[in-house]
Amino acid sequence: MASLPIIYSPEVEAALAAGKAVVALESTIVTHGMPYPDNVETARAVEAEIRARGAVPATIAVLDGHIRVGLDEATLERLGTMTGVMKLSRADLAFALATKRPGSTTVAATMICARLAGIDVFATGGIGGVHQGAEESFDISADLEELGRTSVIVVAAGAKAILDLPKTLEVLETKGVPVIGFGTDEFPAFWSRSSGLKAPLRLDTAAEIAAFQKARDLIGIAGGMLIANPVPEADEIPAVRMKGFIEASLGAARDAGISAKAVTPFLLADMFDRTAGSSLKTNIALVMNNARVAADIAKALKA
Ligand code: PSU
Ligand code: MN
């Protein structure tokens, strides 16, 4: 059998061999989620936060026909400044490998790569979900399908609030994905702590999450789970303030005829302009917060 097309960084390879706690990180947030240089600076800061917490970060991307698990400084900088990087999901991850096109991994693709690499926990900003108007556009992120089938714990500040959050929760339930409010009864709304929606489940510690995962493993329930970790109070933009910005951005996307993979990157960039950069500041803060919780969960799974 051919070997897997994976190249590990020395740090990640050593950590996996030693059975240490490792946290996967995605790269679409770098290439399509934030402007340069914030994208690269954030990626570095998130990695540093995970190390400070006693785990090893593994940022994942596709370059030169290989899945790279763990990126060095120069490669991260290159990825953060490159143009024409494919935004990869389940449908086209292998396409980028076969054609040797550079690609960044979304939540769905990062979960697939993390599973292949033997990494159980993954931190991001917010998962993709059911877009508003999906009854017409059928735009439902492949992230939801992936959570239903691939066994990786995903720590996120809920789903991005540009989405239809009630429908997103419904689809997650249908696919058998546990959605756990971390220290909260409410499903968080990315930039805001509150969505007005109840989190289906609640746990307050990393140890409890590890115990839940072990129980799932024991009875043979595969698939991911979503740890919905609200942005810290000091960094949040209240939902009432975001509402107007979100509506304006959705209108701009409609007017510009944005569709498919371009929708989420368009909305994130447009919100950044509308909020004079404060949506980006909050986005960075929530990713850092998710990285800390993911590191704690990765460690608890090894305990
Ligand atoms: N979280 C962020 N910024 C992002 C994303 C997540 O803070 O840019 C990315 C993730 O890679 C996620 C993707 O998988 O947005 C969702 O894209 P879509 O809606 O096209 O499935
Ligand atoms: Mn989509």
Per-residue pLDDT of 189-199, as tens digits, reads 999 999 999 99
132, 134, 140, 144: CA torsion to nearest 10? 70
pLDDT bracket for residue 168 (50, 70, 90): very high
pLDDT bracket for residue 258 (50, 70, 90): very high
Per-residue pLDDT of 128-164, as tens digits, reads 999 999 999 999 999 999 999 999 999 999 998 999 9
The residues whose Cβ lies within 5 A of ligand 2, an ion, are: 139
CA of 150 to the centre of ligand 2 (A): 19
CA of 212 to the centre of ligand 1 (A): 26
- Secondary structure of residue 18 in the 3-state scheme: coil
pLDDT value for 2: 79
Place of tokens 């159980």: 120
User: Which one, of 224, 227, 234, 164, lies nearest residue 195 by Cα?
Assistant: 164
Among 27, 264, 289, the mutation site with the greatest number of ligand 1 atoms within 8 A of its Cβ is 264
Q: Which fold has domain 6-302?
A: Indigoidine synthase fold (3.40.1790)
Give catalytic residue positions: 26, 160
Phi and psi at residue 61, in whole multiples of 5°?
Answer: -155, 170
283, 286, 288, 291: CA torsion to nearest 10? -120
**In the structure, which protein residues have their CB atom closer than 6 angstroms to any atom of ligand 1?**
26, 28-29, 32-33, 106-107, 124-126, 128, 141-143, 261, 264, 268, 283
For residue 67, what are the β-bridge partners? Answer: 6, 62
